[in-house]
Structure 1
Amino acid sequence: MITSQNIMRHELVGLEVEITHSLNGDLEGIKGKVVNETKKTLTIEDDEGNEKIIPKGSTTFHFTLPEGAKVEIEGKIIVSRPEDRIKKRFRKYW
């Protein structure tokens, strides 16, 4: 089960996400569902079906977990290939 303590070791695809801060101000406020993840980007599909590719390194994300809890993650912490991030050990950042 995915929780705020182990979100770094789980798949992000399928989670609801909102961008709360970005060096590119145009990206702030974008929300939707994560549909793809690469080493340096997340692809987010909004309510209208539009997909936006968001860089991880300069962005802060608010993920909504299946039980409704919200978790804030700085993108620079999750910059890695998804399959490598799941194996990686993380210090507690929150």
Structure 2
Amino acid sequence: MQYNNKNIVLSELIGLRAKIVECLDKKQKGLEGKVIDETKNTLILETKNGIKKVIKKTAVFKFYVGNKSFTVRGEEISFRPQERTEKALKYYKLRRLID
């Protein structure tokens, strides 16, 4: 799949590199690692300091795909992975395609 600024909210996130750019939990801001799992409410990152769980709705993430990066508000991906295509469609429609 070719990732872009619109379809990132509909896409598989497991395996992507991610960084937390904003978070209500200030200790998690700046945390980065590889997404190894996710639930409806959390992203699970493998970081250099171990496995960390991040609550999606309290954070803004930057996902890295190749030489591109995409910023996503946690609320845009706060769905079960298998429900994302259907439920995140409203966010997909609101996002602008930026290349």
How far is the alpha carbon of 1:10 from its aligned partner?
1.0
Counterpart in the other structure of 2:14: 13
Identity %: 30
Q: What root-mean-square deviation, in Å, do the aligned CA atoms of Structure 1 and Structure 2 show?
A: 1.3
Q: Extract unaligned runs of 5+ from structure 1.
A: none
Matched residue count: 92
Q: What's the TM-score once normalised by structure 1's chain length?
A: 0.89
Query: Counting helix residues as a fraction of each chain, which structure ranks higher?
Result: 2
Q: Extract unaligned runs of 5+ from structure 2.
A: none
Higher relative contact order (CA 8 A, sep 6+): 2
How far is the alpha carbon of 1:62 from its aligned partner?
0.5
Q: What's the TM-score once normalised by structure 2's chain length?
A: 0.85
Counting only pairs closer than 5 Å after superposition, residues 34-73 of structure 1 correspond to structure 2 as 34-48=35-49, 50-65=50-65, 67-73=66-72
How far is the alpha carbon of 1:33 from its aligned partner?
0.3
Counterpart in the other structure of 2:80: 81
Task: Tell me which stretches of 4 or more aligned residues in structure 1 moved more than 4 Å.
Answer: none
